[in-house]
Structure 1
Amino acid sequence: MIKITAKRVYVKMVHGLGAIARRIGILGWLERRQDRRSFHWVRALFAIYDVDQMIALDVPWWTYRAIDAVDQFLKERPNAAVFEFGSGASTIWLARRAGTVHSTEHDKDWFDLMQSRIILYPGIHLTYVPTDATLSQDPLYHSQKEAYADHSFENYVKEIAKTGQKYDLIVIDGRARPACLHVAKNCLTKDGMIVFDNTKRQRYDIAIRQSGLAATHLAGMTPSLPYRDKTTLLHVTPTDGHNV
């Protein structure tokens, strides 16, 4: 609870400072120089938990190193099919670079907010999948996040399989992430890639190690965060049986 309160205080303080920085011209000065990574990161600090600012800055909430790697991956696949667990600024960023983006969202308020943001992108298919009406008997689908301790996400996780499609890129940045990885790896094209965000959290280590996928850990600065984080990219290995 203390951690949540501190986070809210920090976000409110940064947004207040951002409003002042906008009035006196600092944000505009930074925006004119955002082609340089350091300036972009400083500007993005004021955009924490502000989806519209993040969309304007044209970045997802992954480490910059991961952003660069995925950007290059999609440049080589301009019509890529993408599936995303958890919507946000990344949904728009992906739609600007891929053929189609299927995104699933568990939060109704956030789902409603995103509707007006995706209207200009016909390639985005956003689906609302609430927490399970009845707690799943399989602990794999239980959330490890304290706020969702009494909820499960089996329907949410299995939404990707319901599409009956293979994806070039799958982004795991929502709820029940180990379960998402367990299901998503079977929905990946043979040369596809999974983006697993916030892997600095130790609770994701076992799921990644047991996935059988080759992992590239990209630690570093992240848009809007004042500290280093880690995003992991996962690929099917030549000896892995998935999608072959």
Structure 2
Amino acid sequence: MRSFRHWTPRYVVDRIAIARFQRLDPAAPWLTPRAVEFLDRMLLPDDRGLEFGSGRSTVWLARRIGHLVSVEDDAGWHERVSRQLKELSLDNVDYRFAPRDLPEDRGGDSEYARSVLELPDASLNLVLVDGAYRDHCARYALPKLAPGGLLVIDNVNWFLPSQTRSPFSRGPADGPATPAWAEVLSIIGGWRTVWTSCGVWDTAIYLKP
């Protein structure tokens, strides 16, 4: 049975605030408002990026950086976003379909997660992890980030421990959600971090040294 215990007055206020932000800026990615503002300031026209999970972020990023690789696991959604990119004449996106065809514990063997492995090391300025097999995607992407590159993990509170008030979050006593997340945390734990929360979910941005 679904739990509604997290529907506190504070949570309702947070939900209203994020709905207002999305209504006022319908083109913004489905990240926290603070994360969107940070990325808007940090991204450069000649940056190269990779995103796992496509959607509003695909067009938004394509308009801000030089080249984007985008990996999507839903065929219908891939077709829809492909049409949108064509209609907007955004030809700087290498848009790939890779099905979510393995269980989570075998996600490291999936075409989806392993698609990043063909990219040269230190070739990316941005990696956005917001799709399937997020622990393995993040793990494989770390060597591909150039120094100063940004690793963005959406819904990070579901996977890595924090003190956030967002519901369904992992606390410090819970530790990382999977062994792969533990491996990722052992590497990025010392990186400069911008952890953002809207009270509904969290988005973390890690800056590679």
TM superposition score normalised by structure 1: 0.63
Structure 1 contact 104–126 (Cα < 8 Å) conserved:
yes
Partners of 1:235 and 1:43 in 2: how far apart? 25
Partners of 1:95 and 1:157 in 2: how far apart? 21
- Return 5+ residue gaps in structure 1 as ranges: 7-37, 46-53, 143-151, 222-226, 238-244
Match of 2:63 in 1: 96
The answer to whether the aligner puts 1:169 opposite 2:126 as a matched pair is: yes
Partners of 1:215 and 1:231 in 2: how far apart? 14
Partners of 1:208 and 1:232 in 2: how far apart? 13
Q: CA deviation at 1:131?
A: 2.9
User: Residue type of the partner of 2:124?
Assistant: Y
User: Residue type of the partner of 2:93?
Assistant: I
1:25-45 CA distances to partner (integer Å, 9 max, x unpaired)?
xxxxxxxxxxxxx98841626
Match of 2:208 in 1: 236
Percent identical: 25
Structure 1 contact 199–230 (Cα < 8 Å) conserved:
yes
Match of 1:113 in 2: 80
Match of 1:160 in 2: 116
Q: CA deviation at 1:59?
A: 0.4
User: Residue type of the partner of 1:44?
Assistant: Q
User: Residue type of the partner of 2:130?
Assistant: D
Describe the shift of the 1:167–1:61 C-alpha distance in structure 2 as closer, same or farther (beyond 3 A): same
- Return 5+ residue gaps in structure 2 as ranges: 5-15, 159-169, 171-176
1:196-225 CA distances to partner (integer Å, 9 max, x unpaired)?
00012133763542233515243332xxxx
Match of 2:187 in 1: 211
Match of 1:79 in 2: 46
Match of 1:42 in 2: 20
Describe the shift of the 1:190–1:40 C-alpha distance in structure 2 as closer, same or farther (beyond 3 A): same
Partners of 2:202 and 2:194 in 1: how far apart? 7
The answer to whether the aligner puts 1:189 opposite 2:162 as a matched pair is: no
Task: Give the alignment's Cα RMSD to 1 decimal.
Answer: 2.9
Describe the shift of the 1:63–1:43 C-alpha distance in structure 2 as closer, same or farther (beyond 3 A): closer
Structure 2 contact 21–33 (Cα < 8 Å) conserved:
no
- Aligned residue-pair number: 175
Describe the shift of the 1:200–1:40 C-alpha distance in structure 2 as closer, same or farther (beyond 3 A): closer
Partners of 2:133 and 2:116 in 1: how far apart? 14
1:48-88 CA distances to partner (integer Å, 9 max, x unpaired)?
xxxxxx9x7220011111111111111xx211101000000
Q: Secondary structure at the match of 1:211?
A: helix
Structure 1 contact 101–125 (Cα < 8 Å) conserved:
yes
Match of 1:69 in 2: 38
Structure 1 contact 111–128 (Cα < 8 Å) conserved:
yes
Q: CA deviation at 1:153?
A: 5.8
Match of 1:224 in 2: none
User: Residue type of the partner of 1:112?
Assistant: E
Partners of 1:93 and 1:44 in 2: how far apart? 14
